[in-house]
Amino acid sequence: MRALLALLVFAATPASAQMMEPGEWEFQIVVTAPGMPKPQPMAYRHCVTREQANDPLRWGGNPSQPTDCQITTLKKGPDTVSWQMACPSTGMNGTGSARFGRGSMQSETQVGGGSSVDLRTKTTGRRLGPCKP
């Protein structure tokens, strides 16, 4: 279950943190999948440092939960980004896109591993201000 949660958080994370300002962020995530009785909401706050903002794999997931997920295709626009990713150890693959505004972001992802898994996430985020000490 913890590995699945780490994968969900990674999948919900925008693939271009360079468009994000460092600081304290609040994220609202809604996960849907076949077999779930209803959408599953999650929320978390995270302090994104300047170093982490340049490497989305470092701030989107839990560093204690290593993942072999990698971005395989990345396309950037002025305020958008889209990507494809692969996670060989779980056999899962995914696609996603994100749109950024000043202090805000929205993203959608789909992660699957064949016909048995189809996780969809919708994420909204907002920058709350500087990181708290």
> Domain-by-domain residue ranges, the chain?
2-118
pTM confidence score:
0.74
* Separation between Cα atoms, residue 116 and residue 101, nearest integer Å: 35
* Separation between Cα atoms, residue 125 and residue 22, nearest integer Å: 13
pLDDT tens sequence across 14-58 = 444 456 788 999 999 999 988 889 999 999 998 888 877 665 545
